[in-house]
Amino acid sequence: MPISSRFFVQSTTALLLVGFLALLGIVGMTFWLGERAQVYFNEVIAARDARSAAVDLRNALQTAESSQRGFLYTGNEVYLASYGPAKALAERQLAAVNRLLASYEGASASLPRLTSAINQKFAEMDLTIAMKRDYQDADALARVRTNRGKALMDEANIFFAGIISATDERLTTGVAEQRANATLLRLFSIISGIVIVIVIGIAAVTVVRYTRELRRARTEVSVLNAGLEQRVEARTADLARANADIQRFVQIISHDLRAPLVSIVGFTAELEDSLGSLRLLVDRSDAGNGADDPDLQEARAAATELLPEAIGYIRSSSDKMERLINAVLKLAREGQRALRAESIDLREIVTGGAAAIQHQLSEAGGKIDIDLGVPRIESDRFSLELIVGNLLDNAVKYRAADRPLHIKVQTRAIADDRVEIEVADNGRGIAERDKERVFDLFKRSGTQDQPGDGIGLAYVLAALRNLGGEISVTSELGRGTSFRLTMPRALITTETIAA
């Protein structure tokens, strides 16, 4: 099944979105697990520090107790050398234990008891040492034999064991949590990596298939273009031959029509000359008293009324036929004329066309408004002058008798680098049924009270199409007419293509 460009865009977008979400999930999970790991790490460090402080406190207390016992047994001050440092260390570590375990659940009740037991233990040891120094050996020994110091030490050891056990458990839990975090991160990374690999694989397959189809389509288009170029060349040659045949046909028809027309005009002139002799003969017959002859009266009527009228009809018809032949030849020659593209000032074209109808415009009390959104184009000047001139001439010719004539010419840029030229008037307007045929040769609309043969708009259409343009008309009977011309902003001629 071929991949459409729409499917390719949609599938690629979806795959990219899935890959992005997977990558975003990895990043989010890594950040979340990193935060959790930091929490566990902080807890492990705190537990380790608390355990270390508790062990150091216990060791310091035991060192102080050993120093005290050695002095009591021997009375030698050497044994007290480690007592003072051990006591100072114990005080520091006791403060550290209280600080580190203050946030632990359940430690708030135990820590004061531990602190009290240690303080009482040091007080008991200080008292016995002082007694020994004062040579109150019996009192010091009695004090020791009360086992008060042993009980306090045992109570402290219980607390130490609990603290070490709790911190060891917390360290074990923290390590387990860290391992679980690492396992979860590894598992999620593997799953996301598999998703990303699948997405990349599907995307790669889709791109390869689409690329292959594009390459195949490009090959087919190239083959079609090659064939199309040949067909276009053949069709262009056929059209050129057909156009040449039409031109020859028009020339032949015009020649064949003009030949009998010349004969008709010539014989009409001879007939008119002979009519003078006939009139002279009738006048002589009248002078010879033949005025009452019916045949003579009939001849006089023919010579003075019927024949001159018939000759007049023949002459007017011949003149009209001459104009029509010239119009056909003009259209044919327009198709043969080579176009020459040049930069054209549209205001100059419009003002030139307006100057040609200025006399009629003044008589009608009219005016022309010019609004050029596009002031210049590249086109054939001769064709454009004739097009604009014909449209302005039509606006003047078919103006409304009950209001001053108002013509508006404006230009604007439209899509595909084209320009629209609008020539609008407030004249008679065109009936709906006549809009389709006003561009036909020899066709006219409305009341035929103006001279013309129905050639102007047909010529405008032919000339405009020769420039690569089109024309449309909108009109309302009794309100006015608007002709819209669309044409390339820059005319493409055979010379331009060759260049």
Same domain, 348 and 285: no
Report the distance separating Cα 365 and Cα 358, nearest Å: 10
Task: Report the range out of 28-37, 100-109, 412-421, 490-499 with the highest average pLDDT.
Answer: 412-421
Same domain, 181 and 317: no
Q: Which residue has the higher pLDDT, 342 or 162?
A: 342
How many alpha carbons fall within 13 Å on the CB side of residue 149?
21
Q: What is the pLDDT of residue 498?
A: 43
DSSP of 210-233: HHHHHHHHHHHHHHHHHHHHHHHH
Same domain, 350 and 420: yes
Please report, to the nearest 10 degrees, the dihedral formed by the alpha carbons of residues 395, 397, 402, 405 taken in order: 40
> Is residue 234 in a domain?
no
User: Among 89-103, 382-396, 450-464, which stretch is predicted with the lowest mean pLDDT?
Assistant: 450-464
Q: Which residue range is the domain that position 178 belongs to?
A: 5-211
Helix (H, G, I), strand (E, B) or coil at 336: helix
Q: What is the pLDDT of residue 418?
A: 93
Residue 478 near residue 400, CB atoms below 8 Å:
yes
Counting the structural domains of the chain, the total is 3
> Is residue 418 in a domain?
yes
Listed in sequence order, the DSSP H helices in 400-474 are 456-466
Same domain, 347 and 325: no
Q: How confident is the model at residue 414 (pLDDT cuts 50, 70, 90)?
A: very high
Q: How confident is the model at residue 497 (pLDDT cuts 50, 70, 90)?
A: very low
* Residue 369 pLDDT exceeds 70: yes
* Residue 496 pLDDT exceeds 60: no
Quote the Cα angle for 460-464-467, to 5°.
150
- The packing angle between helices 107-133 and 137-145, to 10°, is 150
Helix (H, G, I), strand (E, B) or coil at 454: coil
Q: What percent of the chain has pLDDT over 90?
A: 8
Q: What's the mean pLDDT in 42-50?
A: 77
Same domain, 291 and 390: no
Q: How confident is the model at residue 443 (pLDDT cuts 50, 70, 90)?
A: low
- Whether the CA torsion 56, 58, 61, 62 is positive or negative: it is negative
* Residue 271 pLDDT exceeds 80: no
If you average pLDDT over every residue of the chain, what do you get? Answer: 77
* Residue 119 pLDDT exceeds 80: yes
Report the distance separating Cα 459 and Cα 439, nearest Å: 8
Residue 478 near residue 428, CB atoms below 8 Å:
yes
Same domain, 343 and 453: yes
Report the distance separating Cα 270 and Cα 295, nearest Å: 24
Q: What's the mean pLDDT in 28-44?
A: 73
Same domain, 323 and 344: no
* Residue 486 pLDDT exceeds 90: yes
Same domain, 29 and 171: yes
Q: How far is CA 239 from CA 233, 236, 284, in A?
A: 10, 5, 66
> Is residue 450 in a domain?
yes
Q: How confident is the model at residue 330 (pLDDT cuts 50, 70, 90)?
A: low
* Residue 291 pLDDT exceeds 60: no
Report the distance separating Cα 165 and Cα 169, nearest Å: 6
* Residue 254 pLDDT exceeds 70: no
Q: What is the pLDDT of residue 257?
A: 61
Q: What's the mean pLDDT in 220-238?
A: 68
> Is residue 216 in a domain?
no
Report the distance separating Cα 112 and Cα 102, nearest Å: 11
Q: What is the pLDDT of residue 278?
A: 67
Q: What's the mean pLDDT in 79-99?
A: 87
Please identify, among 307, 334, 361, the residue that sits at the C-terminal boundary of a domain.
334
Burial of 236 per CB tally in 10 Å (0-12, 13-18, 19+): exposed
Helix (H, G, I), strand (E, B) or coil at 288: coil
Same domain, 349 and 301: no
Q: Per residue in 131-154, pLDDT tens?
A: 888 888 888 888 888 888 888 888
* Residue 314 pLDDT exceeds 60: yes
Please identify, among 276, 308, 334, the residue that sits at the C-terminal boundary of a domain.
334
Per-residue burial over 312-324, b if 16 or more Cβ lie within 10 Å, else e, is: eebeeeeeebeeb
Place of tokens 């009266």: 297
Q: What is the DSSP letter of 3?
A: P
Report the distance separating Cα 280 and Cα 277, nearest Å: 5
> Is residue 19 in a domain?
yes
Please identify, among 167, 196, 211, the residue that sits at the C-terminal boundary of a domain.
211
User: Among 228-232, 274-278, 382-386, 495-499, which stretch is predicted with the lowest mean pLDDT?
Assistant: 495-499
Report the Cα 67 to chain-centroid distance in Å: 90
Q: How far is CA 88 from CA 101, 117, 184, 437, in A?
A: 20, 16, 47, 120
Check which CATH number belongs to the domain holding 353 and give it: 3.30.565.10
* Residue 234 pLDDT exceeds 90: no
Report the distance separating Cα 18 and Cα 23, nearest Å: 9
Q: What is the pLDDT of residue 108?
A: 64
Q: What is the pLDDT of residue 422?
A: 93
> Is residue 221 in a domain?
no
Per-residue burial over 412-441, b if 16 or more Cβ lie within 10 Å, else e, is: eeeeeebbbbbbbbbbbbbeeebeeebbeb
Same domain, 294 and 348: no
For the sheet with 406-414, list strands across it: 367-372, 406-414, 418-425, 480-488, 470-476
Structure token pair of residue 388? 């604009």
Q: How confident is the model at residue 407 (pLDDT cuts 50, 70, 90)?
A: very high
Report the distance separating Cα 333 and Cα 327, nearest Å: 10
Instruction: Tell me how many helices (H) and strands (E) the chain has.
Output: 12, 7
* Residue 196 pLDDT exceeds 70: yes
Same domain, 195 and 271: no
Same domain, 51 and 72: yes
* Residue 161 pLDDT exceeds 70: yes
* Residue 169 pLDDT exceeds 70: yes
